[in-house]
């Protein structure tokens, strides 16, 4: 089955700097890779996703890149703001099947 690793587990950046979180996956059949932001006590919120036929996707300050050969994908947040502070989870999935989540990254944006 799928196994998703995520690094780093914690990340602190200064406001305005960029943050990068990396994930690797094991199942070559996985073809959908979403990223979720979770604030304390709340449900995860989808912030961006990418399918295996695309190498990069951007939405304002957030971007995701995918390297299928190396089986890794990354989340990039530019111009970080205090409200970006949260726990971020990546996931890998063979679309239609269940998600396998990474262990999470706690991002702190320092003012």
Q: Which residue lies nearer to another protein by CB, 11 or 99?
A: 99
Within residues 46-75, the interface with another protein by CB under 8 A covers 46
Q: Cα–Cα distance between 93 and 58 in angstroms, integer?
A: 20
In the DSSP assignment, the letter for residue 54 is -
67 and 73 in contact (C-beta within 8 Å)? Answer: yes
* Size of interface with another protein, in residues (CB under 8 A): 16
In angstroms, give the least distance from the CB of 104 to another protein: 5
C-beta of 15: minimal distance to another protein in Å?
24
- Using the minimum distance from each CB to another protein, give the nearer residue, 10 or 28: 10
C-alpha to C-alpha distance for 47 and 76, rounded to whole angstroms: 11
Among 24, 30, 33, 34, binds another protein (CB under 8 A): 34
C-beta of residue 100 within 8 angstroms of C-beta of residue 93: yes
Q: What are the beta bridge partners of residue 38?
A: 87
Which residues sit at the interface with another protein, rule CB under 8 A? 34, 41-44, 46, 89, 93, 96, 98-104
């Amino acid at each position: 089955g799928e196994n998703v690793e995520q690094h780093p587990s914690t990340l602190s950046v200064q406001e305005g700097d960029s943050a990068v979180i990396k994930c690797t996956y094991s199942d070559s059949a996985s073809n959908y890779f979403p990223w979720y932001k979770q604030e304390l006590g709340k449900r995860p919120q989808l912030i961006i996703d990418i399918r295996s036929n695309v190498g990069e996707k951007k939405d304002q300050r957030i971007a995701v890149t995918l390297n299928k050969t190396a089986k890794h994908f990354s989340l990039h947040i530019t111009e970080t703001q205090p409200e970006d502070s949260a726990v971020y989870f990546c996931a890998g999935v063979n679309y239609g099947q269940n998600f396998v989540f990474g262990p999470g990254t706690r991002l702190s944006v320092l003012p």
